[in-house]
Chains A and B, each alone.
Chain A
Amino acid sequence: MKNHVLRPLFVAVGVVVLILLAREVLVPADFGVQERGYMYGWHRKGNEADWKNVRVKYRTTAYCKECHQDKYADITGSPHGAIMCENCHGPGLAHPDDPQSLHIDRRRELCIRCHFRLPYQASGRGRIRGIDPATHHPEAECVLCHYPHNPRWTPGKEARR
């Protein structure tokens, strides 16, 4: 057979071999069909561990109460008892090693997330005591009058629990 007929064939074979070699080098060893089958489980297995190793930032009230027993006692049982500490104090990932990392949000915008009055009876929002921030002591921080760890307690009065 003449050389000019076979030559393109050699080129094609060479391209296939190159692609297979590149695939061998570039595709990680743990890439393939995993538990969920070919349609949903075709992936690099090591990536599951990558996601599991993401750093936890919110350490939840269970972590905070280990040291801040007094504040925990104040808020438990109060109407704010279900609010996680870090919702207002910021994520505690670097606490207590880096005290600067916690930013306590004392802005009115934080409180009116729930306490802006919306008359939506079909949701729980309609039953939350709300204000109109434009008329309810504007420019004053809520914490000036209200104790956030127990809203039933106001300065000068006994705590009503």
Chain B
Amino acid sequence: MISRRSFCKKSILILGGIAVPLAALELFDPKKLAADRSGPSTVRWVFLVDTHKCVGCGFCVKACKIENEIPYDANVSRTWVERYVVTRDGKVHIDSPKAARDGFTSTSIDQGALGMLKIENNDIDKAFFVPKLCNQCDNPPCVQVCPVGATYQTSDGVVLVDRSWCIGCGYCVMACPYGVRFFHPVYHAAEKCNFCYHRISKGMKPVCVEACPFGARRIGNIRDPDDPVTRIIMTERVNVLKEEYGTKPQVFYVGLTREVK
């Protein structure tokens, strides 16, 4: 009969014995864990949005949906334009009908299920448009929460999603403070703006930048000090969205006000 003492002794011995080869099989390698950015990449993509220039035409959204094969009539989009209307009574009205795919062709605010809110022109204190897209954060919370390694950041700073690896848990959709992630209605995987990675890696510009007739959207490389976008970010008054979240967003805005969330 085996005694309790000898059973415990032997099981600890055997468990310890099998633990050694398990570690050797590299489930988690502490060296790799510690190894971070080895040698900075020469490219780090950033984006610059000038809200003074945006007129809310929505050509960026239209082009993005077609270029990136987001079903045109599905109510999801990688980028969108928000309209902010601040009225005299101090209220802030925000809308983005169909992600502004067809622009803003009404003075009324689209309140969704609550219907359209008519606003008289005389009641407007200020009104403007703010384009939104993925911030390609330096500390992307959407990547941290992915349990399977389906979403990741490339060496040039763009956060991508591996459609074949995504299990559709939706953690990343919840984790993004900017609400840029959604499920692709066809591929059933998490989807997001990636600065048109297929275009920027070929030396082209993202399609929203090309489609904008007003120069409200620009892309640049923050590691290149001579890049015109880098110069603006370094020398002019720019701001980012939700800095307090510590995500280090890399989409910079000219002309943000406190109403913009």
- A residues sitting closer than 8 Å to B (CB atoms) are 1-2, 5, 9, 13, 16, 20, 31-44, 47-48, 50-58, 60, 80, 82-84, 86-87, 90-91, 109, 112-114, 116, 118-125, 128, 133
Add 14 more A-B contacts to A43-B165, A56-B199, A58-B210 (CB < 8 A): A40-B143, A40-B153, A41-B153, A41-B155, A52-B197, A52-B201, A54-B198, A83-B213, A112-B103, A114-B57, A122-B52, A123-B128, A125-B55, A133-B105
Whether a CB of chain A sits under 8 angstroms from the CB of B236 is no
- The minimal Cβ–Cβ distance linking B109 to chain A, given in whole angstroms, is 12
Pair B121/A48 contact, Cβ less than 8 Å: no
In the bound complex, CA of A40 to CA of B154 (Å)? 8
Pair A82/B215 contact, Cβ less than 8 Å: yes
Pair B198/A53 contact, Cβ less than 8 Å: yes
Contacting residues, chain A, for B152 (C-beta < 8 A): 34, 36, 40-43, 47
Pair B105/A35 contact, Cβ less than 8 Å: no
Pair B2/A122 contact, Cβ less than 8 Å: no
Pair A84/B210 contact, Cβ less than 8 Å: yes
Pair A123/B52 contact, Cβ less than 8 Å: yes
When A and B form their complex, what is the total count of cross-chain residue pairs whose Cβ atoms lie within 8 Å?
173
- The minimal Cβ–Cβ distance linking A27 to chain B, given in whole angstroms, is 10
Pair B55/A91 contact, Cβ less than 8 Å: no
Pair B105/A58 contact, Cβ less than 8 Å: no
Tell me which of B51, B124, B144 contacts A119 (CB under 8 A).
B124
In the bound complex, CA of A83 to CA of B121 (Å)? 28
Tell me which of B54, B66, B85 contacts A57 (CB under 8 A).
B66
CB-nearest residue of chain A to B40: A35
Given the interface pairs A35-B155, A37-B36, A87-B63, the reply to whether A58 lies near B127 with Cβ below 8 Å is no
CB-nearest residue of chain B to A90: B66
| Contact pattern, B 12-24, Cβ under 8 Å of A = 1, otherwise 0 | 0010001000100
Pair B154/A33 contact, Cβ less than 8 Å: no
Q: Can you spell out 28 A-B residue pairs with CB atoms less than 8 angstroms apart? A: A20-B25, A31-B149, A35-B154, A40-B140, A41-B155, A47-B160, A48-B154, A54-B68, A54-B198, A57-B66, A57-B67, A58-B63, A60-B210, A80-B213, A109-B102, A113-B105, A114-B57, A114-B213, A116-B104, A116-B106, A118-B127, A119-B121, A120-B124, A120-B127, A123-B54, A124-B53, A124-B54, A124-B214
In the bound complex, CA of A51 to CA of B56 (Å)? 29
Contacting residues, chain B, for A133 (C-beta < 8 A): 105
| Contact pattern, B 53-94, Cβ under 8 Å of A = 1, otherwise 0 | 111111100110011100000000000000001000000000
In the bound complex, CA of A109 to CA of B14 (Å)? 75
Pair B22/A16 contact, Cβ less than 8 Å: yes
Contacting residues, chain B, for A80 (C-beta < 8 A): 213
3 A-B pairs with the lowest CB-CB distances in the bound complex, closest first: A113-B103, A43-B152, A35-B155
Pair A9/B149 contact, Cβ less than 8 Å: no
Whether a CB of chain A sits under 8 angstroms from the CB of B129 is yes
Whether a CB of chain A sits under 8 angstroms from the CB of B258 is no
Pair A123/B102 contact, Cβ less than 8 Å: no
Given the interface pairs A51-B197, A113-B58, the reply to whether A1 lies near B103 with Cβ below 8 Å is no
In the bound complex, CA of A48 to CA of B215 (Å)? 29
Most chain A CB within a 10 A radius of its CB, from B11, B36, B124:
B36
In the bound complex, CA of A40 to CA of B150 (Å)? 11
In the bound complex, CA of A9 to CA of B14 (Å)? 9
- The minimal Cβ–Cβ distance linking B211 to chain A, given in whole angstroms, is 6
Contacting residues, chain B, for A125 (C-beta < 8 A): 55-56, 129
